[in-house]
Structure 1
C-alpha cells in the first residue's frame, strides 16, 4: 500500500473494491455505515435509475473519508451478527439495496442484502 491507503483503495474499480470489502469485513466482523446526529443512517437514491441503497464500508477511516464535507455524518459500526440478524431482513423488507464501498470514480457495486450476506458468509469460511 502507498502512503495513503484510502486513496489506493478508492482508486480500485468496483469489483476490486467489493472483493476488498468482503475480505476486510470477513476478518474484522463489522460493517461501517454513516449516521446523522439523530442516528438515522445515510440512504442514497441514484438519480440515474432511482435505486435506493445503503452505502457501506469495511472500516471507519473509509467511511469517515466519504463523510468529509458532510458536517453531521459520522461513522458507526454494525457487528456482522447484528447486520445478518437485523439489517439484512430490514433492508430487504424496505426494498433497499446495498452500495459497497463507494469509490473516487463514483462507480459503485450495488447488491441485494441477501446476496451480500451470502458473499460475506462465503468469505468468512476462508478464515
Structure 2
C-alpha cells in the first residue's frame, strides 16, 4: 500500500478499535522520528499492536502502547501541536509515511466517527 492507502486503512481501523498505537522505550518515552528529507519531527502511530510490533522488530528497547482516542484527542493532539511535532501515520519498514498535522488527523478521525453512526 502507498502512503494514502495506509492512511485510509489507519482511519478505518482506528475508528473501529477506538485506539492508536505508539512505541515507547523502557522509560515510557515515546518514539519520535526526524525525517532525513525535510527534517520534520513526527510521532509514528499505527492502527494496531501487531503493526507497531512489526515496525519495532530488531530493537529490544521499544514496546507497543495503546492510546485511547479520547486521550489522543484531549492530551496528545494539544501536546504534539504545542511541541511542534507532526504525526507519521502507519509507517512501514519499506514504505513512505503519511505525515500530517495532529489537528488534521484528529479532524479526519472525528469526521469518520460521526459518519460511522457512533
TM-score when normalising by structure 2:
0.96
Q: Give 5+ residue unaligned stretches, structure 1.
A: 1-11
2:109 maps to what in 1? 120
2:77 maps to what in 1? 88
Please state how far the C-alpha of 1:121 moved relative to its aligned partner.
0.4
The alignment partner of 1:125 has SS state of: helix
The alignment partner of 1:42 has SS state of: coil
Count of equivalent residues: 116
Please state how far the C-alpha of 1:57 moved relative to its aligned partner.
0.2
1:101 maps to what in 2? 90
The runs of at least 4 consecutive aligned structure 1 residues that moved more than 2 Å come to: 103-106
Q: Give 5+ residue unaligned stretches, structure 2.
A: none
Q: 1:69 is matched with which residue: 58, 62, 66? A: 58
Please state how far the C-alpha of 1:105 moved relative to its aligned partner.
2.8
Please state how far the C-alpha of 1:125 moved relative to its aligned partner.
1.5
CA distance in structure 1 between the partners assigned to 2:101 and 2:35 by the alignment: 15
1:18 maps to what in 2? 7
CA distance in structure 1 between the partners assigned to 2:84 and 2:46 by the alignment: 20
